[in-house]
Structure 1
Amino acid sequence: MLRDLMDVAPPVTSGVGSQRRSVRYLPVNLFGAVMGLAGLSLAWRSAHRVFGVPAAIGDAIGVVALATFLVLATGYLAKCLCYPAAVKAEFEHPVGGNFFGTITIAIMLLSVVVSRYAEVFGEVLWTCGTALTFVLTFVVVGRLLHGKVDPVHATPPWLISGVGTLDVAVTGSTMPMEWAREVDLFGLSVGTMMAVVFFMMVFSRVVHQEPLPATMVPSLIVMIAPLEVGFLAYVGMTHAVDMFAGLLFHAGLFLFITLSPQVFRLNVPFATSWWAVSFPMAALSIAALQYAAYAGTWVLSGIAGLALLLVSVVVAVLSVQTLHRLFTRRLLVA
């Protein structure tokens, strides 16, 4: 049932080969690649501060993230102009529509990536990304409150909306505008409420309903995002790593260790949905680096180093797989 729901692309008429490889089939969840690359860039910047690794690594990954966003944004804009019905169907989908949050989160993450070199441009990006995030959140929540939502639709992508508003506080803590702090506080409060409510609904669905189809299994890692992004938002707002922050970090670490054997299996085929694992892992890495810098213990330093290595390998593998599919003309297909 859920596998059928995830297939939002219109049927393709046989014999029309040009329709089988088209921007019409550019999935919005591919913007998760921008989130993963931007998150990895910020993780390596944190590693520069904590471990003294070359800053050029994080900067180079940031350039790749920005270039990827420009390419995908151009492609999806073309999809909006040429195939508005397909975009509308994707947005109204009870599961797939949540991935539109990857666009707004990507914009906010890129604002931090570029602000190091163009502060004003970074502020503009963050303002636009924040505004779009709140608009999307109001739309998503309002749609759910209409009622009669099938419990089977409560899948990990629902958490993207909650993570998006938490990311307002994460990225906004670096912004110099005086009014940004209140916006950050609003994002943190809304994100906390949504993360708690949606997490319980998703957890209940995973336990009590049918297993997720193979293409959605990677999205299970999204369940650690509210905890690790919550850690980053809380620390960014309070400028302190206290016991509550530690509880958030370790809860996310526990979930990651628990879910990883279910996700990272050879019998889970590659799909663009695999990019869903990249940003939560990057958030875990950044949180571990910040926690290690505060605690100063070799155990946490080891966890931080291992988390950074894992997310770097995962993003590299996903990048190679995605580019291979693109060059072999198997990416933009129905």
Structure 2
Amino acid sequence: MQTITAIPKQKSIGSVQFLPVNLFASVMGISGLSLAWRQASKLFGTSLVIADIIGIAAVLIFIILSLGYMSKWILYPQKVKDEFKHPIIGNFFGTITIAILLLSSVVGNYSELTGQVLWIIGTVTTLVLSFIIVARLLDGNHEHGHAVPAWLIPGVGTLDIAVAGGSMPFAWAHEVNLLSLAIGGIVALVFLTMILSRLIHHTPMHAGLTPSMLIMIGPFEVGFLGYVNFEHRIDQFASILFYFGLFLFIVLFFKVFKKSIPFGASWWGVSFPLAALSNAALQYAMFVNSWPLIAIAAIILVLMNIVLVVLFVRTLKSLFNGNLLKG
């Protein structure tokens, strides 16, 4: 008698060893969304409860991702080491430090002391990482194809120090913010020139990296926010930063948001530049108090909400399908 034993196939969501570091960009985007809704409450009178709920979500997601990535570091240290040394992926470690800086602004609305501690941690780690990345690039022998928008993340990260630290009460915070604007501004300018040269003169990037093109608006919109928080005013230089970032977003929008580009964790790279643009647009609209700019700010805020909801749903679907954490 032949016995056939049917063993049901168990579906696995994958292994933590394949947890991509660029998922921390989701914390940046969601934190930025929380801050944008807080700005929207001043411009449109929306409830602060929206900002509170989104802020809680950002904190929880950061904790979950941190526990996951620490587990990966402990269990598969070589995987983490390889990622950090990778000429492209290594730049995404900046999403961790920037996430801490943005969370300092989110949490600081409820506990000033906790916000200040997070800002100090984020500032130190961002400056150290920026030093490591720039020093590594200056070793030479890097391929033209490695000059991608992800290079901007460590530079933009230092600009976020001033974004989150504009109201810090420490006597030394002014000079640290000025240092961060100097590093972020010049590094972003140099890297952006190299990236544009690569995009113009060489073969197109891999489809999986296409969403990261939106990072190129980061130096302008994050620069706007950092400069305004530092100077405590909006002048013509700040206006130029905002408007060029807006123009670049419109140009890149039609190149990035295409159905032909497959979904992956790299899509979260669109969230934080979009969040920076939304916060900048809301702040600029309040300053100018002109209905076309108010309408633009509202459209960008709605668009950001739609994009982040779609990304969140597709990420969960990818996770439970076993695609997100597979080798």
TM-score by length of 2: 0.95
Aligned pairs (5 A) from 1:1-334: 21-334=14-327
Task: Report the Cα distance in structure 2 between the residues aligned to 1:25 and 1:109, rounded to whole angstroms.
Answer: 25
Task: Report the Cα distance in structure 1 between the residues aligned to 2:264 and 2:322, rounded to whole angstroms.
Answer: 14
**Which one is further off, 139-148 or 100-109?**
139-148
Shift of 1:327: 2.1
Task: Report the Cα distance in structure 1 between the residues aligned to 2:169 and 2:307, rounded to whole angstroms.
Answer: 33
* Residue identity opposite 2:104 in structure 1: S
Shift of 1:330: 2.1
Pair 1:20–1:134, CA change in 2 (3 A):
same
Task: Report the Cα distance in structure 1 between the residues aligned to 2:187 and 2:73, rounded to whole angstroms.
Answer: 29
Pair 1:19–1:306, CA change in 2 (3 A):
closer
SS in 2 for 1:315: helix
- Report if aligned partners of 2:98, 2:122 keep a CA contact under 8 Å in 1: yes
Shift of 1:174: 2.8
Task: Report the Cα distance in structure 2 between the residues aligned to 1:113 and 1:66, rounded to whole angstroms.
Answer: 9
- Report if aligned partners of 1:112, 1:174 keep a CA contact under 8 Å in 2: no
Task: Report the Cα distance in structure 1 between the residues aligned to 2:292 and 2:12, rounded to whole angstroms.
Answer: 53
Task: Report the Cα distance in structure 2 between the residues aligned to 1:209 and 1:78, rounded to whole angstroms.
Answer: 39
Task: Report the Cα distance in structure 1 between the residues aligned to 2:12 and 2:39, rounded to whole angstroms.
Answer: 44
- Report if aligned partners of 1:34, 1:106 keep a CA contact under 8 Å in 2: yes
**Which one is further off, 145-154 or 216-225?**
145-154
Look up the match of 1:12.
Answer: none
* Residue identity opposite 1:150 in structure 2: E
CA RMSD between the two structures: 1.3
Residues 134-159 of structure 1: CA distance to partner in whole angstroms, max 9, x if unpaired?
Answer: 00000001001111111110000000
Runs of 5+ consecutive residues of structure 1 not aligned to the other structure: 1-16
Name the larger-Rg structure: 2
Residues 29-52 of structure 1: CA distance to partner in whole angstroms, max 9, x if unpaired?
Answer: 000000000010001111011111
Question: What is the percent sequence identity of the aligned residues?
Answer: 53
TM-score by length of 1: 0.93
Task: Report the Cα distance in structure 2 between the residues aligned to 1:38 and 1:154, rounded to whole angstroms.
Answer: 27
Task: Report the Cα distance in structure 2 between the residues aligned to 1:176 and 1:324, rounded to whole angstroms.
Answer: 43
Task: Report the Cα distance in structure 2 between the residues aligned to 1:204 and 1:332, rounded to whole angstroms.
Answer: 34
- Report if aligned partners of 1:156, 1:219 keep a CA contact under 8 Å in 2: yes
Task: Report the Cα distance in structure 2 between the residues aligned to 1:98 and 1:87, rounded to whole angstroms.
Answer: 13
Task: Report the Cα distance in structure 1 between the residues aligned to 2:25 and 2:117, rounded to whole angstroms.
Answer: 21
Shift of 1:20: 8.6
Runs of 5+ consecutive residues of structure 2 not aligned to the other structure: 1-9
- Number of residues paired by the alignment? 318
Task: Report the Cα distance in structure 1 between the residues aligned to 2:47 and 2:170, rounded to whole angstroms.
Answer: 30
Shift of 1:21: 1.6
* Residue identity opposite 2:54 in structure 1: I
Task: Report the Cα distance in structure 2 between the residues aligned to 1:77 and 1:174, rounded to whole angstroms.
Answer: 31
